[in-house]
Structure 1
Amino acid sequence: MDKGRENRPHIGIYGRRNTGKSSLINLLAAQDIAIVSDHPGTTTDPVKKSCEIAGVGPVVLIDTAGIDDEGELGSKRIEKSIRSIAAVDLALLVIVNNIWGMFEDNMVARFNEAEIPYLIIYNKSDLGLPLDEFSARLEQHTDHTPFIFSTIDRSRADELVKMIKTSIPAGLLKAPAMLGDIIGYGDIVLLITPIDVEAPEGRLILPQVQAIRDVLDNDAIAIVLKEREVDSFLERSGIRPALAITDSQIFVKADASVPAGIPLTSFSIALARMKGDFDSYLAGTPAISGLRDGDRILLLESCTHHVSC
């Protein structure tokens, strides 16, 4: 499984202490998700923050400790920041005050070694622009032109977002389809959705919401109904859906209601297929038939709503 993480672009923000990395994260996320302080070293360990950047889409921003941190503890923080490079798809290296040295050289070497695209952001330009000779030297040294920016006046925020979007590997910006390769234009998808004491109060669960959106994105037709309405609806309407999806807890009941020949799956399986290493999952399913009485099974429940298992 690729990097063992969420299937969305990961953007790492690196730089010395007090270069405005956290302020940059807050600007990109359009909300205060990172602590900002004039005191150097506020950010310690790398912290992942899921958000949506307008014009880019859902991403994970990784806030890191300063690459010039000091002392034994500082060295450990730097090492954690360096290790985080393995999880990113794009790096933003933040610099200020015409300062570039071995810390930045080390990070660029790490980016190149990992074949990670990166941008150099010259931040705090409201306090002073980079010297022409500094910019020229930096461009010659890294083959990158520093992007002059300020999180205070934000006048180039849209331009920065466009640069980020064009720098992220193209395949990562296209959200994987949950159903797009098995349904087509005009297909009718029956979404059998139980609403009972186990359902979260006042809302659908994430796989159900994503399934509805994916059906609409693929110009198909979503019909959402509860399990007790399936038989009468199909009989009255005469509709023959191209696909039926239901909750795993009522799979047997749904299977009895859905006419033979219509593919039936569950919301959880559809989501797992989209997000996970589904081939490995399929390869492991034969082990189920080998289970015996008394065998122990580890179940992981990661939903945030109330669970009954």
Structure 2
Amino acid sequence: MLRWRVGLIALLTAPALVGCGGGSDEVTPDPSTTTDQPQVSVDLTTPDSYAKNTDGLVGVQVAAKGSHPASATVTVRFDVPAGKLVTVAYQATQNEADGQHWPALKLSSSPGPKAGLDTLTGSYSVPLHDGDLWRFSLRPQFGPSAEIKNVPVHVSLAEGGQTVATASQDATLTAVTAVRTNTGKTAWTLYRDGRWAEVDYTLTNVSTQDARSMNVGLAVNRCNPDETLSCQADGSLLGAIALQKFDKGRWVSLSGSNGQASRVLTTSLKAGADSQVRLRLAPGTSLAKDVDRAEVVLAWAAPGADGSFNGTDASDFTIH
């Protein structure tokens, strides 16, 4: 799914439409001390959007082979512009019976790795099992600037005061955010009887830089009929759904698509400014009868600008 969204953003930056991965730095034990070293490694993933005052998820994937500690202290560090803050909440349990319990993590500040940066640090403990995926939410209280495009994230696992694994990854700051502005009871349903379903957004440039030209497109994914709502790209769905946008006081039909996306508009967006996008969709008779769930994805990209101006927002719909 992540691979498809990257492809969709690439499509928006292509001239024809003018219209996130993980990384780890495993600790390599000193050969002279490998006998008693636990076989633990960690992989850090930053697959989400990280926008000002918006929560984005970070994943901590653990591998623990052979003899290893029963628990570990997780220490997370964030390098941020001096005086700026992030807030963090962490997943405290993987027991579904306990529900989702995400306490806020207290962060302390210290001088960063270079002038102009602070390092924010916090620690918490987790049980240590092979294959565990622990998550925490990251909410920057600042957007990208000409100098700062991402938040370096570092994680380490320690047992008995000894570090057993580390990983680092950048969380790319998002310059433009999208918020659904119609979220009532009927805002998550598409109708086969010809009724229109409206999907409205506010796009906001939360950075300190202008987006001189930004392409906005819409795509529709097919979702599997299961509880996980796993969705995959399906270019045929968009062709089977009528799409209109509200422009200059009237609804205008949008025809055709480029690959997997239909262009909604091309616009400029100054720093701190926002833009309203009103769309509506209606499934046609050519939509397969077995399609009863779909994911509507708004995507935006600024050709020629840095990647912080690219992003997506997904909404899950039931089709009746």
Larger helix proportion of the pair: 1
Confirm or deny a common fold (TM above 0.5): no
Query: Structure 1-normalised TM-score?
Result: 0.23
Larger radius of gyration: 1
Q: Of Structure 1 and Structure 2, which has the larger fraction of its residues in strand?
A: 2
